[in-house]
Amino acid sequence: MVSWGGSSLSLVAPTSVCASKIFFYSCVITFRPMNANDARERIHQLTVELNDHNHRYYVLNNPTISDFDFDQLLKELENLETQFPELTDPNSPTKRVGGDITDKFEKVKHRHPMLSLSNTYSRDEIREWEERVHKGLGESADLFSSNQVEYVMELKYDGLAISLTYENGKLVRGVTRGDGETGEDITANIRTIRTVPLSLRGNHPGEFEIRGEVFMPKKEFERLNAERLEQGEEPYANPRNTAAGTLKQQDSGEVAKRKLDCFLYSVYADNLPYDNHFDSLTHAAEWGFKAPSFRDQYIGKTTGIDGIMSFIEYWDQHRHQLPFEIDGIVIKVNNYAQQEELGLTAKSPRWAIAYKFKAETVSTLLHKITYQVGRTGAITPVANLEPVYLAGTTVKRASLHNADQIAKLDIREGDTVFVEKGGEIIPKVVGVDTSKRTSMSMPHHYITHCPECNTALIRNEGEAQHYCPNENGCPPQIKGKMEHFISRKAMNIEGMGTETIAGLYDKGLLTNVADIYDLRADQLTGLEFVVTDEFGENPKRRSMQEKSVNNLLHGVIASKNIPFERVLFALGIRFVGETVAKKLGKHFRNIDNIQQASIEQLLEAEEIGDKIAGSIRQWFADEKNLNILNRLRNAGLQFETQMAEPVRASDKLSGKTFVVSGVFNSFSRDGIKVSIESNGGKVSGSISKKTDFVVAGDKMGPEKRKKAEDLGVAIISEDDYIKLIGE
């Protein structure tokens, strides 16, 4: 009897032997449900195995099975946890993909305050700090005795500080630094980080706290920004802020998609078995943590100032080769007893200091200011520079952001400018060396017409950027809309990319997204065109062969099954991103309802404000958009949601509109919204004269309360709501 996939397989011995000595075997497969004891054993086995593979892949960088095999094991565990929910561990490997939703992050007081480090940009001040350490330890007689004070040097990771608590080898809590005394419980989000062990290995303390830094790797940051640019959205400023914002997401499933990473670098416990910081970190790595090591030179030990300076010098020169951002070096006294003797100031420990690297800045010549047009028509000025080496790459162009930035810095063509990269993915001009400006220099006048189609630019009140309003006639906007339409999170058309879009547009085969569904093999096979990069440079010839044409056309056909919410996102309506499209699909169910909805009706949908509602109405008022929409409908795209209708419990709230605010005892915030809808009511994201009730929980926003009172909208408590639905 062999257990297999939750069932059993019985192998039966030979049934007969004939004169010719031929054996006949029979195989009987019987399926029986796995019992709880078998499931518990298999779940434990899978958990141990998956945790080990996860550690090998993400921490040791030494995987021993394929991604496919790992996914199969994970799927088996997910199935077992679905069948036996009572056996699910909060630290199960399945929690890595997220899915938990929270309305709030609970405040948690740190057992040991998370103090900030004093920092300096001066190497002389590092020398002075080292002298103070010796004096603080009472070593006046032998001030620089090399065997009395040992220092540990570590990279200063540019991310978000966290504190993790483990009990009996299990992760029980992950908390942000907060104000140093109190942080926020983000455990569900921490569990999605693959380099944070959920269960420990080896001989570890029964209960301890370990601190570290969550960060976003450079490649992931670049991938995320490439997606945002493709969707016509502003790129994120730097990896640090993006990592911090990601950890504060309320949907852990979204956090999991961002592929955050983490280094752990400080252990706290009442009775640590080690007397120094370095040994604690070494053993933390044995317990399963991703901790800095000698192997990768992310940590060093020394007994004097020369060793400290050598470590600083090395990483000041090599930091740009790292796969993540650092902004300095942290130096600590290694011995715990010496740390305790040196003590703390009100804000920081005396036994540690951070040396911060200066943001790398270079000067170069600005030859010309040109302008790019984005998918949404946004105009971005670009500084075309004399090539200069900066932060590990050769920089030829830098962002000038907008007209206000150019005016503020008085940037002119022919200027010698200062360029900085820092944590930004795009280099930026941060200043001008006016001492090198010639007498012939003239102030720069921002363009008034689109550089691509010559349409007069507009600038909306309260916005920094200028826009080209010719969205249906401006080539970069047309191509940008099609690139957005075929992108992975939208229609995901395999075999069609940015270069193909540009080539087919130049050949006159594509003028809008509907044309994609009219493409034929005889038009495409053997077609040749020239493509360039985003700056119109580096031309190369492309030829479409039969195989690539077949892949493209199969991708077009497959896209007709993409769900309505993604089709709506693909249309490229301004301010209707991926999340807003889902909310609209859930609320209105189909494209016709959205098209016919008034501003007031649009505002009733969750998370839809005046700006989004106005943009939607404007899009549907354009006859050209409606023609494209009809062609897409005729092509067979999905314009009705397949999401299940909310289960109707009653009609007690029929015709009533509710706004939900605050934190509740009997419901989560999403739960009370589901309850309202299941009883026939509507949920709105903002209070208006059409709101019937505001359900006020704990910590309701004072502005919402005031607005409800000013408009005379009834404010009811959670208990009042429960009475209202009669439950």
Q: Which of 427, 371, 367 is nearest to 399 (CA)?
A: 427
Catalytic residue among 95, 156, 290, 481: 156
Give 624-628's long-range contacts (Cβ < 8 A, gap of 24+). Answer: 624/472, 625/571, 627/514, 628/512, 628/513, 628/514
102 CB neighbour count, 10 Å cutoff: 18
Helix/strand/coil for 631? helix
Q: Which of 113, 129, 116 is nearest to 348 (CA)?
A: 116
Strands 151-157 and 299-302 come out as antiparallel
452, two tokens: 């691509």
Residue 404's contacts (CB-CB under 8 Å, 6 or more residues apart) are 464
Give 73-76's long-range contacts (Cβ < 8 A, gap of 24+). Answer: 73/46, 73/49, 74/50, 76/5, 76/46
* Distance, CA of 452 to CA of 474 (rounded, Å): 7
**In degrees, to the nearest 5, what angle opens at C-alpha 133 toward C-alphas 127 and 135?**
105
Strands 261-268 and 207-215 come out as antiparallel
156 belongs to the catalytic site:
yes
Supply the DSSP symbol for 519: -
Q: Which of 349, 343, 347, 308 is nearest to 329 (CA)?
A: 308
Supply the DSSP symbol for 314: H
Contact 260, 247 (CB under 8 A): yes
The b/e string for 496-514 (b: 16+ C-beta within 10 A; e otherwise) is bebebbbbbbeeebbebbb
Tokens 């790129």, located at residue = 235
631 CB neighbour count, 10 Å cutoff: 17
Could you give the count of Cα atoms lying within 13 Å of 576 in the half-sphere of its Cβ?
29
Phi and psi at 670, nearest 5°, equal: -65, -35
Q: Which of 369, 359, 334, 340 is nearest to 158 (CA)?
A: 359
* Distance, CA of 136 to CA of 619 (rounded, Å): 69
Contact 247, 264 (CB under 8 A): no
Residue 153's contacts (CB-CB under 8 Å, 6 or more residues apart) are 299, 300, 301, 302, 307, 308, 311, 312, 329, 330, 331
Phi and psi at 178, nearest 5°, equal: 60, -130
Contact 724, 718 (CB under 8 A): no
* Phi-psi group of 162: left, alpha or beta (phi > 0 → left; psi -120 to 50 → alpha; rest → beta): beta
Contact 187, 178 (CB under 8 A): no
* Helices and strands per DSSP (H, E), number in the chain: 24, 25
* Distance, CA of 396 to CA of 576 (rounded, Å): 34
* Distance, CA of 487 to CA of 331 (rounded, Å): 46
For the CA atoms of 672, 678, 683, 689, the dihedral, rounded to the nearest 10 degrees, stands at -120
* Distance, CA of 35 to CA of 55 (rounded, Å): 30
Residues with catalytic roles:
156
